[in-house]
Amino acid sequence: MRTFWQGLFLGCFVVIKSSLVALSDVDIKNAVEVRAKAYIKKYNIAGLAIAVVKQSFDMEKPCEKTFCFGHAQRNLQISIKESTGFRLGELSSSFIALLFAKALHEGTIPEEALLSDFFPKTFVIPRYHDIPIKVMEVALQTSGLPDYPTLPMRYYQVGAKDIENYFRSYKLPRKPGAKEQFSHLGYACLAYLLARSGKTTYAKLLSDKILKPLAMEDTYYSLSLNKRHLLATGYRGIGPVSENFVDKDTSFFKPVVGLIATIADLRKWLSFFLRIHATALDPYLKQVFRFQKNAEDEGVKKLGLGWKIEPLSASLVTYKGGGIYCGFSSCMLFTPDTKTGVVVLSNTEYDVEPLARELLQFLNS
């Protein structure tokens, strides 16, 4: 009888174990390679860099991989590498959000704080009648501020003084907190007040509080001349995008869209949000995942601190960040419940979210 039950148990164990076989490194490599090469061919993309992170109970160790395809510069046939730099565009905002989460955790910015509390007195922060904007409403994209200010210069030429002048005549269209509306201006204000609160520059705050603790040595607020060669050429269609316009360090919007990073560093960024390794910044993640606001956009379930929260399946939600910016495209998608995520970077202005989503679904299958 014991032999019978032992055999039955062993048979059940084999069936269960076989249904929970982990994806191998080869499975993941093949899946990424097939999909990435097809995406490049179909949409005429210059190059792609992809990071994959996955941890589950049936894996001996977490999978943390990077993959590179295509060219950093088409004319010279320079290949994409782990050390190739990409402009992150809106994914830069996720760093602002974490710095804000840190400020909330440490109590340096109270949850009920007003935006005007952290700006110079010369700034007349817009109100809706007598209702002021709270910092939390800015962080959750419900401040009522526009995406970009209507000004005679391009956004990358806008400095703090220009925003000060703009605010004097701007009228909020609705009560703060009433409706979600994505605002680059709002997050630029958030970066500005974080730097003022810390009595430093945003670049130094970012470096000291995030990049150094996470050993992200190849994420840059500004590229020095001796590292300019690391940046891929951005493309719009088959033509390169001019670099003459970009990244004035004095731009009010530089923190929101202007970061440059390698896929190796973005893999570290992804692993941090999935809690793959213990870090000194882990306590701040509680704030990142704590705050959520219902969204009205189709397909978007909620808004979090720096992330859009959307369904991946009937039982899983994904956190999403990224967008298209000046010859580049980025998308970071991750599911905290399964400790699985993907980052896709491209040096072509074509949306890479569908590719990232397809890869994430595969990893969660």
Average pLDDT over residues 50-76: 90
Q: Which of 184-193, 301-310, 351-360 bottoms out in mean pLDDT, i.e. has the lowest?
A: 301-310
Q: Please give the pLDDT value at position 94.
A: 98
Q: Over the stretch 262-279, which tens digit does the pLDDT of each residue have? A: 999 999 999 999 999 999
Higher-scoring residue by pLDDT: 227, 213: 213
- Give residue 278's pLDDT: 97
Q: pLDDT tens digit string along 163-174?
A: 999 999 999 999
Q: pLDDT tens-digit profile of 338-349?
A: 999 999 999 999
- Average pLDDT over the chain reads 90
Is residue 129 over pLDDT 70? Answer: yes
Q: Is the pLDDT of residue 298 over 70?
A: no
Residue 14, pLDDT > 90, answer no
What's the pLDDT score for residue 218?
A: 97
Q: What percent of the chain has pLDDT over 90?
A: 75
3-state secondary structure the chain: CHHHHHHHHHHHHHHHHHHCCCCCHHHHHHHHHHHHHHHHHHHCCCEEEEEEEECCCCCCCCEEEEEEEEEEECCCCEECCCCCEEECHHHHHHHHHHHHHHHHHHCCCCCCCEHHHHCCCCCCCCCECCECCEHHHHHCCCCCCCCCCCCCCCHHHCCHHHHHHHHHHCCCCCCCCCCCCCCHHHHHHHHHHHHHHCCCCHHHHHHHHHHCCCCCCCEECCCCHHHHHHECCCEECCEECCCCCCCCCCCCCHHHHCCEECHHHHHHHHHHHCCCCCCCCHHHHHHHHHCEEECCCCCCCEEECCCEEEECCCCCEEEEEEEEECCEEEEEEEEHHHCEEEEEEECECCCCHHHHHHHHHHHCC
